[in-house]
Amino acid sequence: MMAGPVKKNSWRKTTISEPAFLSSPLLHCQPEALKTSPVLDLKEIQFTIQKGKEEIPLLQNINLQVPTGHFMAIVGPSGCGKSTLLKLIAGINQETGGSIFWNGRNLSEEGDLEHSEIGYVPQFSIAFEALTVEENIESAVRLRSETKNRAAFDDLVDSVLASTGLEAIRDRQVKVLSGGQRRRLSLALELVTDPVLLLCDEVTSGLDPKSEQEIVELMHQLSRNEHRLVANVTHSLANLDLYDSVLVLDAGRVVYHGPPRALEHYFSVEKAEDVYPRLAKRKTEEWAESWEKHRLAYYESFAFKNPANTESSVSAVTPGALPQFFALLSRRWKIFFRDKGQIFLQLAIMIGFPFLVIIFELEGVEQTRRLSDTLPALSEYKAEQEAMAFNLNLGGVVSGLVMFQVILLTLMGSNNSAREIAGERYIFEKEKLGGVRPVVYIASKLAFLSVLVLLQSFWMAIFVQSVCEIPSQSFVPHLLLLLLVNGAMTAICLGISSLAKTADQASLLSIYLVGFQLPLSGAVLALPEWAGWLSRPFISAYWSWAGIMDGMQRDYFRYIEEVTDTWLAPMWLAFLVLLVHVALGLFIAYIGVKKPRWDN
């Protein structure tokens, strides 16, 4: 039974075990949205993680009802489970117990909401620094919302800019924006699909008080859409008057969910900022039990009935795979050409590395040019041993030239892709939640990197061959093997990038991998036979080098064999293994991007 009415002038602070707060006049002067049916309904939600052999509960017995057209704050001490709860609602994490209902639909059994129905704004930046505000929003539209024509596309972009107050800075690059402007952009990127559920995770953290108030006011305005529910995780207890309700968590339990003006009364504190110290004075279980005792009566006081049909009449259609592919590829090239440092580095590598190959064996280059004259004249040498020494030395020079050529191409491959996914991992995770397909994302990376690989490999092969005149039987197989070793290392490092926690970690691991190519190839330093057979399957440089050596002129090949203790794989096998390396790298990259990495 609910307590009787409380006289306006006699309202006093009570302990949480008393239900008098349920009849307070403050509970009956909230927006009409609070008296509508609950569109979001969480029942007995549990979430645990495994740490060794022990199961650690992060959320326990979460029961919650929220109507549409509503703005809710999720607050609580650090580590209480605020972000974890938000990720469960968004479908990023899967609850280990209980059910989540949206508009009467059991999401635990019937599948998550459509990508277009959810907007999720994480703590980290989800915009590309090199692009302008407008370009970031245009990219989001191309990836997440299918428009009928160019006019509809422009109208949607303009509408999103206007609704978030970004029109005046639409042409500014993200890297020059203030913290508040970046948060507005993060919200704008989610509005391109007009989501019915907008989830914001600490979007006001680190902002000055004025900027924080502006962002909260913006979220409040967005929640006034009768089809939309906006939930904001925040540690701040400022600006609570702008929220329709406040959900307080403590150690993974709900200890309050009600109007902000009743918060002080419920916790018997003078001001909202005193709630956190007050929580520490009692056990979480006691707070949670008290709230459970009053929860249903509280919700009944707001006339929560069976869920009504509150779905938006407009639902964005996620673009197909091909439009997403071209949107991703176009954006990647735009970012590439905006990065002057990256362009300079690529040109320096492409121009400088072939010269390094030649400088490496500068004296031997003249010998390779004389090779065609030298081999037929062997019988004219008076000193057979001198001729043999010359040719053996020449074999070593050519073998070294090719190996150095191959190693530098593996270094190019590492530089191409080591940071490619890890450097934008958080942004991709957000875009994947918004409907970007992992296979399309990988395909766009493959298309972009293939251009770099082709340019680098062709230039290296043609330049070195024109200067050194390496005695291959045919230049085409030589070129293809160089192309494949660059492609193999690019693909493998792309896989590393997809698995790494940070871009720096991916770069370091990729450099280590290149560093092992030379000693483990066995081409320069002879390896014990057992070590060679164990390491060779994984060393791309060996297969490219061995295949090129096998393609040398037959009358000269014997000198390569004389100076090489390493087993020389036939060319066909080298092609096959390198193709497997490329495929393996791309497969690892796909697995890596498909796996969620929100907690990196």
Report the predicted TM-score, pTM, of the whole model to 2 decimal places.
0.85
Beta bridge partners of 249: 254
What's the pLDDT score for residue 200? 95
Q: Distance between CA 420 and CA 510 in Å, rounded?
A: 12
> Backbone phi, then psi, for 60, in 5-degree steps?
-135, 130
The count of other CB atoms within 10 Å of the CB of residue 159 is 13
What's the pLDDT score for residue 261? 83
Beta bridge partners of 42: 64, 100
Structure confidence at residue 600 as a pLDDT band (50, 70, 90)? very low
- Chain CA centroid to CA 495, Å: 13
Mean pLDDT across the chain:
82
Q: Higher model confidence: residue 192 or residue 125? A: 192
Q: Note the pLDDT tens digit of each residue in 511-559.
A: 999 888 877 765 555 667 766 677 788 889 889 988 988 887 666 666 6
Structure confidence at residue 318 as a pLDDT band (50, 70, 90)? confident
What's the pLDDT score for residue 89? 92
In sign, the C-alpha dihedral spanning 190, 194, 199, 204 is positive
Q: Note the pLDDT tens digit of each residue in 197-235.
A: 999 999 988 889 999 999 999 999 999 887 889 999 998
Q: What angle do CA 592, 594, 598 make, to 5 degrees?
A: 85
Amino acid at 186: S
Q: Note the pLDDT tens digit of each residue in 449-481.
A: 999 999 999 998 888 887 777 777 788 999 999
**Residue 201, SS3?**
strand
Q: Distance between CA 202 and CA 430 in Å, rounded?
A: 15
Structure confidence at residue 135 as a pLDDT band (50, 70, 90)? very high
Q: Distance between CA 504 and CA 422 in Å, rounded?
A: 8
Q: Is 327 exposed, middle or buried (0-12, 13-18, 19+ CB in 10 A)?
A: buried
Residue identified by tokens 């490219």 is 544
Superfamily of segment(s) 26-113+196-300: P-loop containing nucleotide triphosphate hydrolases (3.40.50.300)
Beta-carbon contacts of 334 under 8 Å, excluding residues fewer than 6 positions away, are: 130, 131, 135
Tokens of 29: 């002067």
**Domain assignments of the chain as residue spans, ordered by start:** 26-113+196-300, 327-375+398-594
**Residue 211, SS3?**
helix
What's the pLDDT score for residue 50? 85
Q: Note the pLDDT tens digit of each residue in 70-110.
A: 999 999 998 899 999 999 999 888 899 999 998 888 887 88
The full length of the chain comes to 600
Q: Distance between CA 75 and CA 57 in Å, rounded?
A: 19
Is the pLDDT confidence value at 315 over 80? no
Q: Note the pLDDT tens digit of each residue in 236-265.
A: 888 999 999 999 999 999 999 988 888 888
Q: Note the pLDDT tens digit of each residue in 163-192.
A: 999 999 999 999 999 999 999 999 999 999
